[in-house]
């Protein structure tokens, strides 16, 4: 079936989130649409010479494509986020030592969190890809503040080590962007626009 922009989808249209992130799952659940979750198993390494924004958007598409064959006819959501400041990029720290290093590097600076979003119609091959930026100002954190934060918050799986939906909000001076959900990992405003373009009824 072709659920293009000029036709309405069947009531039980399959929606798939190509992510194992609990944060993205919680965000998508706010739309009150039934959906499934699938692990995309993609290499998240940036390509040589690739900008952080291009990396996030390319990986959002790659994640959706990685599960498309398993869900023919479904609408598949892919998302990825990269944080950067100047020439320095910040991914998921993976270890406390890396998290400390990231937060020391970002203190007193404005960091851009670029969230890539893709909606892939596996039936038609149509893809919509968008990038949503959030500008984040970090306080001039002391080493003691960084250590206390990491003692209390599990931030090793968050880009830039700043879990803004948790204690990480205390590290910041400001957030500036078009969608507060983007910083957590899934830009819901842009996603709603994409879903409507595929004919999915939303308020």
The Cα 186–Cα 28 span in angstroms is 8
Domain that holds residue 121: 15-197
- Which of 65-69, 158-162, 168-172 has the lowest average pLDDT? 158-162
Beta strands in 71-199 (DSSP E): 75-85, 88-90, 110-121, 127-138, 172-177
Number of domains into which the chain is organized: 1
Q: What is the CATH number of the domain that holds 136?
A: 3.90.950.10
Tell me if 5 is assigned to some domain.
no
Task: Count CB neighbours of 120 within 10 A.
Answer: 28
Q: CA-CA distances (angstroms) from residue 154 to 27, 65, 98, 166?
A: 19, 30, 13, 9
Looking at the annotation, which residues are catalytic? 80
Output the average pLDDT for the chain: 91
Q: Which helix (H) or strand (E) holds 189?
A: helix 188-197
- Percent of the chain clearing pLDDT 90 (strictly above): 81
Instruction: Give the mean pLDDT of 78-104.
Output: 94
Q: CA-CA distances (angstroms) from residue 31 to 10, 89, 130?
A: 18, 31, 19
Tell me if 202 is assigned to some domain.
no
Tell me if 10 is assigned to some domain.
no
- Which residues pair with residue 132 across a beta bridge? 115
């Amino acid at each position: 079936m072709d659920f293009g922009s000029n036709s309405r989808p069947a009531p039980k249209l399959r929606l798939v989130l190509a992510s194992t992130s609990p944060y993205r799952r919680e965000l998508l659940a706010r739309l009150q649409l039934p959906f499934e979750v699938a692990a995309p198993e993609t290499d998240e390494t940036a390509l040589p010479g690739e900008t952080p924004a291009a990396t996030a958007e390319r990986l959002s598409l790659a994640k959706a494509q990685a599960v498309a064959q398993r869900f023919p006819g479904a609408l598949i959501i892919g998302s990825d986020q990269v944080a950067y400041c100047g020439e320095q990029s910040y991914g998921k720290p993976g270890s406390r030592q890396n998290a400390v290093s990231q937060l020391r590097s970002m203190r007193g600076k404005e960091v851009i969190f670029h969230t890539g979003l893709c909606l892939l119609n596996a039936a038609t091959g149509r893809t919509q890809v968008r990038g949503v930026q959030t500008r984040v100002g970090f306080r001039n954190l002391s080493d003691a503040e960084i250590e206390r934060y990491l003692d209390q918050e599990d931030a090793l799986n968050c880009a830039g080590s700043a879990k803004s939906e948790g204690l990480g909000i205390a590290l910041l001076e400001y957030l500036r962007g078009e969608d507060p959900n983007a910083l957590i990992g899934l830009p819901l405003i842009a996603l709603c626009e994409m879903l409507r373009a595929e004919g999915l009824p939303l308020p």
